[in-house]
A and B are shown apart, each in its own frame.
Chain A
């Protein structure tokens, strides 16, 4: 992936060496492409931009005619933070997203290891079956899960959400790890075995350090997916364990509308994930497409 990119980057400057009409045509083309590309990118990004801007306005400015001229205020952030609720919801999000991700990684690493390095005839079938569990629409099993959670006291608990998110993300995590492990040269592990490494040492000294970037981006994808999940969180939690997705949804009542505060809260809710997403966009494609697109 990176090499392909490097190639194009390396190749580009080679073309316009002579100052000919062709060069200026090329520059012209680049200029127009740039204008078009940036315009579209800004249009797509605009709602996010507007949300961030609105978060720095007063409520009065927020509902006035759209304008970029205002004196920015941190009032909304202060107020959202000071509301006891926000911290609780944010903490719920952090605990649930990171807890489920850690748990998923713990369960998935041994499975992906054995699939990548000790494959049997069954491995392919198992992988595809895992993928197929992901195809089960959550709404199809909403009723039984809701009733099971009600009867076991997991409704509106972080534990309950952690369980659901772990299982929801497990297939993707196994798949992503599997493709990263698969990419690791087998020779290196064999060299390690020749050097006297047992399974555990092989994993600790060779596999984990070498696939750390892959494991990290897998983890980040799982965090992103859990953080943004809005079906189970809306249906399985209410006041105690609700994460930010559910908290933000509570702003939807048409009466108590506070756009500036909503914007500030939303900005805080999406900022970390937006950054995670930017950082891992490339590796994420593997997980999102089950390795079908690299």
Chain B
């Protein structure tokens, strides 16, 4: 059974669909007068437009000389925008910032999430409520969590953290000026830790209790059980968490927008924020689009792995 092209998520996944749809149109089955195709048509065509139109425009703009502040200067630019982009130190700084953010948040959420999932799988009093409290931050809108952390937790004078530091006789930290990137990473990790926890906890519940008991009969202690039974069982869920988080974390925006506005300097400007600055603050459409293309390519590298994994799951 060849399912057409198995992995339609190339750099421009949409283009694969076009050929595919035309080829097999005749095979739409008829039940009750409704063709399979007509049931899917609205969803498929809307998504197709939503994907292909802006994508094509981004690519097109990235090859144009197009700045809203300079209406006269238009025309084909070739790879000029890319040239500027790649020679702009801001891009490399933003790439570095993006990598640091993604990397640290991933480490914190995956390690923390796994340990928390193991903990919250144990039987203790009020476990259900404790679980609910621990996953709550995921449901808080990003602007709220950013502001709560900025004003009430990390504020140098009145924040809870500085009060705690003071009570312990430690110097208060001015989080957003002295440790801007760390601060943003803490906020984002706080939001995504519950996501990892939620997914891993669910995956944990499908762990066969008999397997754990068999291991215990074989003389495995809690640590051995964690490394030889639990962790292998969670492997798949962990990789799903990593990939999904990566896709979202590559383009963190609201948290930066609300707390540091990318600063001080470029300290917390990631790729998404840089594109925002170029597009909506500098009005340089061509340059911003080139950045957009880079972001799309980065996300697709991750997406290919994720889609491949989900595809494997669909088969079983």
Tell whether any CB of A sits under 8 Å from a CB of B in the complex. Answer: yes
Whether, in the assembled complex, B177 has its beta carbon less than 8 Å from a beta carbon of chain A, the answer is no
B280 partner residues in chain A, CB cutoff 8 A: 142, 146, 235
Whether, in the assembled complex, A143 has its beta carbon less than 8 Å from a beta carbon of chain B, the answer is yes
Contact with A along B120-163 (1 / 0, CB 8 A): 10111111001111111111111111111111110001101001
Whether, in the assembled complex, A141 has its beta carbon less than 8 Å from a beta carbon of chain B, the answer is yes
Given contacts A47-B152, A128-B9, contact A143 B279 (CB under 8 A): yes
Whether, in the assembled complex, B299 has its beta carbon less than 8 Å from a beta carbon of chain A, the answer is yes
B214 CB to closest chain A CB, in angstroms?
Answer: 14
Question: In the complex, A86 Cα to B78 Cα: how many Å?
Answer: 47
Whether, in the assembled complex, A22 has its beta carbon less than 8 Å from a beta carbon of chain B, the answer is no
B39 CB to closest chain A CB, in angstroms?
Answer: 4
Whether, in the assembled complex, A291 has its beta carbon less than 8 Å from a beta carbon of chain B, the answer is yes
Interface residues of B in 36-77 (CB under 8 A from A): 36, 39-40, 42-44, 46-47, 50-51, 53-55, 57-58, 61
* Stretch from B83-91, B100-108, B190-198, B223-231 forming part of the interface with A: B190-198
Whether, in the assembled complex, B272 has its beta carbon less than 8 Å from a beta carbon of chain A, the answer is yes
A31 partner residues in chain B, CB cutoff 8 A: 124
Question: In the complex, A48 Cα to B137 Cα: how many Å?
Answer: 7
**Contact at A252–B147, with CB atoms within 8 Å?**
yes
Question: In the complex, A65 Cα to B166 Cα: how many Å?
Answer: 11
Contact with B along A152-178 (1 / 0, CB 8 A): 000000000000000100110010000
Residue of A nearest to B234 (CB): A293
Question: In the complex, A290 Cα to B311 Cα: how many Å?
Answer: 10
A77 CB to closest chain B CB, in angstroms?
Answer: 16
Question: In the complex, A47 Cα to B146 Cα: how many Å?
Answer: 10
B190 partner residues in chain A, CB cutoff 8 A: 44, 47
Residue of A nearest to B153 (CB): A47
**Contact at A120–B151, with CB atoms within 8 Å?**
no
Most buried by A among B53, B199, B202, B291: B202
Given contacts A146-B279, A292-B240, contact A269 B153 (CB under 8 A): no
**Contact at B119–A37, with CB atoms within 8 Å?**
yes
Whether, in the assembled complex, A1 has its beta carbon less than 8 Å from a beta carbon of chain B, the answer is yes
**Contact at A40–B119, with CB atoms within 8 Å?**
yes
Chain B interface residue bracket vs A = 35 or more
**Contact at A245–B141, with CB atoms within 8 Å?**
yes
Interface residues of A in 86-127 (CB under 8 A from B): 107-108, 110-111, 113-115, 118, 120-122, 124-127
Whether, in the assembled complex, A207 has its beta carbon less than 8 Å from a beta carbon of chain B, the answer is no
Given contacts A30-B123, A174-B43, contact A118 B29 (CB under 8 A): yes
Q: How many A-B residue pairs have CB under 8 A?
A: 362
Question: In the complex, A211 Cα to B87 Cα: how many Å?
Answer: 54
A294 partner residues in chain B, CB cutoff 8 A: 202, 206
Contact with B along A127-163 (1 / 0, CB 8 A): 1111111011111111111111000000000000000
Interface residues of A in 1-24 (CB under 8 A from B): 1, 4-5, 7-8, 11-12
Question: In the complex, A107 Cα to B309 Cα: how many Å?
Answer: 26
**Contact at B310–A170, with CB atoms within 8 Å?**
no
Whether, in the assembled complex, B253 has its beta carbon less than 8 Å from a beta carbon of chain A, the answer is yes
Whether, in the assembled complex, A241 has its beta carbon less than 8 Å from a beta carbon of chain B, the answer is no
Interface of A, secondary structure class, is: helix
**Contact at B8–A291, with CB atoms within 8 Å?**
no
A145 CB to closest chain B CB, in angstroms?
Answer: 5
A249 partner residues in chain B, CB cutoff 8 A: 143, 147, 254, 257-258
Given contacts A34-B126, A289-B240, contact A124 B147 (CB under 8 A): no
Contact with A along B233-262 (1 / 0, CB 8 A): 000110011001001001101100111000
Question: In the complex, A75 Cα to B245 Cα: how many Å?
Answer: 39
Whether, in the assembled complex, A217 has its beta carbon less than 8 Å from a beta carbon of chain B, the answer is no
**Contact at A135–B122, with CB atoms within 8 Å?**
no
Contact of A141 among B47, B152, B292, B310 (CB under 8 A): B292
A148 partner residues in chain B, CB cutoff 8 A: 53-54, 57
Given contacts A5-B205, A274-B139, contact A290 B148 (CB under 8 A): no
**Contact at B40–A115, with CB atoms within 8 Å?**
yes
Whether, in the assembled complex, A270 has its beta carbon less than 8 Å from a beta carbon of chain B, the answer is yes
Question: In the complex, A74 Cα to B195 Cα: how many Å?
Answer: 32
Contact with B along A42-57 (1 / 0, CB 8 A): 1011111011001000
Given contacts A45-B136, A274-B136, A290-B310, contact A129 B40 (CB under 8 A): no
**Contact at A137–B250, with CB atoms within 8 Å?**
yes
Given contacts A38-B130, A45-B133, A135-B303, contact A121 B24 (CB under 8 A): yes
Whether, in the assembled complex, B114 has its beta carbon less than 8 Å from a beta carbon of chain A, the answer is no
The 7 tightest CB contacts between A and B, nearest first, are A199-B32, A144-B57, A277-B139, A230-B254, A135-B303, A34-B124, A141-B54
28 contacts between A and B (CB under 8 A): A31-B124, A33-B123, A37-B120, A37-B127, A44-B133, A44-B137, A47-B145, A51-B148, A110-B40, A113-B39, A120-B24, A121-B4, A124-B314, A128-B314, A129-B8, A131-B9, A133-B50, A140-B299, A147-B57, A199-B32, A228-B139, A231-B251, A234-B254, A252-B143, A263-B152, A288-B195, A292-B310, A294-B202
User: Using a CB–CB distance below 8 Å, which chain A residues touch chain B?
Assistant: 1, 4-5, 7-8, 11-12, 30-31, 33-34, 36-38, 40-42, 44-48, 50-51, 54, 63-66, 107-108, 110-111, 113-115, 118, 120-122, 124-133, 135-148, 167, 170-171, 174, 198-200, 224, 227-228, 230-231, 234-235, 244-246, 248-249, 251-252, 257, 259, 262-263, 266, 269-270, 273-274, 276-278, 281-282, 284-285, 288-294
Known: A48-B136, A140-B296. 8 other contacts (CB 8 A): A33-B123, A34-B126, A40-B116, A42-B133, A48-B137, A144-B289, A147-B285, A199-B32
